[in-house]
Every structure is written in structure tokens, then in C-alpha cells.
């Protein structure tokens, strides 16, 4: 789900920016799908996560895409 966005950033800004975006987005998405944050507004997303309960699956799929990108292009120690 995030592949096209990462490709765009990679072409526009380069590999470091794409990797930084992937790390930042993964952090936000993981926080959004966290059970403890279901009724809170997540900084950076701007909407209460309870409105995103139906989008939880899409967030998780995006997390998988971002994690895969970071593992293949970035620092593997970051994901431990």
C-alpha cells in the first residue's frame, strides 16, 4: 500500500529521504493501531483513531510494507 508513495519520495528526494519517511510513517502507523491508543488522537495523523477502526487493516498492511522497505534498504538493527 505504501510502495507507490515510497517510490515517489525515492525519485523526488533520494534514498535517505525515502528511508526517513518509512521510519517516521511506520512509527505513526504502529502507534495508530496500538490497542492502548484506540480512543486517542495520534499526533501526525490528526484524527481520533476510533474513526480509523475500520482502517486498522490498511494501517497494518502499510506497516508491513514499510517494515519490509526498511529491512531491505535501511539499518536492520533499527527493527529489532
Please state, in angstroms and rounded to a whole number, the distance separating the CA atoms of residues 80 and 73.
15
More confident residue, 47 or 11: 11
Looking at residue 6, its pLDDT comes to 93
**What are φ and ψ of residue 48, in 5° steps?**
-60, 140
pTM of the model: 0.72
Question: Mean of the pLDDT values across residues 22-44?
Answer: 74
What interhelical angle do 15-33 and 56-73 show, nearest 10? 140
Q: What percentage of residues in the chain have a pLDDT greater than 70?
A: 68
Mean residue pLDDT across the chain? 79
| Residue 65 reports pLDDT greater than 50 | yes
Model confidence at 29, in pLDDT bands (50, 70, 90)?
confident
Q: How far is CA 7 from CA 12, 19, 21, in A?
A: 9, 11, 11
Amino acid at each position: 500500500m505504501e510502495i507507490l508513495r515510497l517510490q515517489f519520495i525515492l525519485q523526488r528526494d533520494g534514498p535517505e529521504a525515502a528511508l526517513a519517511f518509512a521510519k517516521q510513517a511506520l512509527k505513526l502507523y504502529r502507534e495508530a493501531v496500538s490497542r492502548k491508543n484506540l480512543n486517542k488522537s495520534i499526533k501526525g495523523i490528526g484524527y481520533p483513531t476510533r474513526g480509523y477502526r475500520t482502517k486498522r487493516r490498511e494501517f497494518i498492511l502499510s506497516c508491513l510494507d514499510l517494515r519490509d522497505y526498511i529491512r531491505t534498504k535501511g539499518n536492520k538493527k533499527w527493527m529489532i
